[in-house]
């Protein structure tokens, strides 16, 4: 098989939560350019429309669904809508997320903790469960979860975020073991510090200088720099890769 075919996503349907901005948008564009039909799930209708317009310019079938993934009753109808309009889902990217910079467990409220866990962890479990059922029947599929550097490191200013992202990596490994017999690969991407709306506030903090000094690349990454890793994990090229977490961090984690 030609190498280019290993990364060809033509004929596949990808669902990307939080695909209307930041890292999610970068991965959505990357998969569309590789030939996949793309459905983005996001809360912000304006951002949904803008990203959907970009996807349609590429010339692939695409759709956007306005949804709050913390509302569990909305998840299955959204998945069924994608299947009805685009076809069987072969790729799921659990990307949607929030961060609570609470300053530690002494400051973080129960409500903040619960909301973050519902977004960053529970939705990953629930959406994966919904989509995996169809993937098991078809005996093929790719699930990509988005971790973080804080999947590995503790955080004194965002404990719920670190806890959830650590759990996502363990969930990835567990799902990978369970679903491998059905030719379903489950992997994760752990972005380093990437230029997004979520990380914008960090640039005003003393932490910013520490990040730059620690990162061998000497800068924050760009959202499009995760697209290649996402396409690899979504494509035939990664059929014998499962349960792995690929760091895209400019070398941040090696120091």
> Exactly one of 161, 182, 208, 222 is catalytic; which is it?
161
SS3 call for 248: strand
| Residue 161 is among the residues annotated as catalytic for this protein | yes
Exposure string over 76-106, b if 16+ CB within 10 A, otherwise e: eebbeebbeebeebbbbbbbbbbbbebeeee
Is the sign of the CA dihedral 227, 187, 149, 45 positive or negative?
Answer: positive
Residue 46's nearest CA partner among 64, 62, 32 is 64
In this structure, are residues 66 and 45 in contact, taking their beta carbons and an 8 Å threshold?
Answer: yes
Q: How far apart are CA 217 and CA 56, in angstroms?
A: 34
Q: Which residues are catalytic?
A: 161
């Amino acid at each position: 098989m030609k190498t280019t075919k290993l990364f060809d996503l033509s004929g596949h349907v990808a669902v990307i939560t939080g695909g209307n901005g930041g890292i999610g948008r970068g991965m959505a564009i990357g998969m569309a350019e590789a030939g996949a039909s793309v459905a983005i799930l996001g809360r912000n209708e304006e951002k949904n429309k803008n990203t959907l317009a970009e996807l349609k310019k590429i010339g692939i079938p695409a759709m956007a669904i306005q949804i709050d993934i913390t509302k569990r009753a909305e998840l299955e109808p959204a998945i069924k809508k994608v299947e009805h309009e685009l076809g069987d889902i072969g790729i799921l990217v659990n990307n949607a997320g929030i961060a609570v910079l609470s300053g530690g467990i002494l400051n973080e409220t129960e409500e903040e903790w619960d909301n973050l866990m519902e977004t960053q962890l529970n939705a990953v479990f629930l959406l994966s469960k919904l989509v995996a059922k169809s993937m098991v029947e078809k005996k093929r599929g790719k699930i990509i979860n988005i971790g973080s550097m804080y999947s590995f490191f503790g955080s004194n200013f965002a404990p719920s975020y670190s806890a959830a992202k650590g759990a996502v990596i363990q969930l990835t490994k567990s799902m990978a073991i369970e679903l491998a017999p059905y030719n379903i690969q489950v992997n994760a991407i752990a972005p380093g510090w990437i230029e997004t709306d979520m990380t914008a506030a960090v640039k005003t903090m003393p932490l910013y200088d520490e990040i730059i000094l620690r990162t061998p690349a000497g800068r924050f990454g760009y959202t499009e720099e995760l697209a290649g890793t996402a396409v690899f994990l979504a494509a035939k090229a990664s059929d014998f890769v499962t349960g792995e977490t690929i760091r895209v961090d400019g070398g941040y984690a090696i120091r």
